[in-house]
Structure 1
Amino acid sequence: MSAPQRDDLSVDQQLAMTTAATRLATRFGGVFSVETIDRFLVSSYDEFAGRATIPNFLPLLAERFARQRLEALAKVEGKTHDGRPVVLFLCVHNTGRSQMALGFLQHHAGESVVGWSGGSRPGEAIEAGAVAVMAERGIDIAQEYPKPWTDEIVRAADVVITMGCGDACPIFPGKRYEEWELADPADLELDGVRAVRDDIERRVRRLLDSLGVAAA
């Protein structure tokens, strides 16, 4: 299988995109057409191309985001769903609060819940303070990356947690929405970020309890 050729990619990037397309086709073969997979991969690449600080990582980011979007679309279209609740955390830049919340959700719920995050205006990198205070709890969010949300991702979510994105947050009927009022860690010293972190963990634990999921 070959990914669509693009004039703006280096030889190494094009090879990486082709490899990504092959992996996605293996994962979603029989669920989506090759054309759909390619379209999602290319549009995911375009989401990051204008703000990526390390261009060589773009194909990997595109593949990860396309995989998430295709998983969401498969659920929305009823092509696959394993019964696990899907929780989506949304904030403005997807660099602090929503990433910490996702980290705690994955840490405490494991494979019992599907967790995603996104931002209305995604930043360039995860905030160093958020990475540091989460590492203090043994949770590594340094490999995460700021990303937008898309319609299929929001539509696939069962619970949407918003954190300060206001009117930019998407509203779809039939979803459970919660607004978590939390200070933006970007504006705080490290002790303040720790306080936000601890507040987020308490809220995630309560959320899991409401979903009937035992927190580790």
Structure 2
Amino acid sequence: SQPAPTPTAPPTTVQTLTTLSPKRKVALPLIEKIEVSHNTRIFRFGLPTPEHKLGLPVGQHFFIYGKSKKEEGESIIRAYTPMTSDNVAGHVDLLIKVYWANEHPRFPEGGKMSQHLESLAIGETIEVKGPIGHFTYRGCGRYLDGQRAGQVKNLTMIAGGTGITPMWQVLSEVLAHPEDTTSVKLLFANQSEDDILL
């Protein structure tokens, strides 16, 4: 007679805790504000637990919802791409240039969302929803643009100011994986040397 087979435990799956939802807003508290330059900050927001990840595909962004402190009840909505990769757990970092009111004659009100974020005290929250966007970098030169998939050997990226963040996310993903041999060129424009970020 054959020995009875030894029972094996079912395979365990590790479920990643993700924060973002395309259907509902999620509140995130400001946990740190880091000054990068006279008008640029890294705003660090806490995720629901230290184990949570944002849940944002590389190359995509999410909406931030805020309230104007100047105009009672006015909602502000802007899309942002974080600096942090989706491998980071517990927090998300946003690199944001603050556009002050009355700083530029063409934009007397300045940037409503950037001023709102600058006015937040540690512990105050924003609401986020996403992911959104048409482009996703899938690694090793593979990408998805809307419904069209493709693969490239060379990537050329052009960015200005804090518009570096989507490019930074893709570049970081390429550099984090030695098997990704995609060649990347980045042209990064700024008004002055002091405005060069990262």
**TM-score calculated relative to the size of structure 2:** 0.24
Higher helix share: 1
Higher strand share: 2
**TM-score calculated relative to the size of structure 1:** 0.23
Between the two structures, name the one with larger relative contact order (CA 8 Å, sep ≥ 6).
2
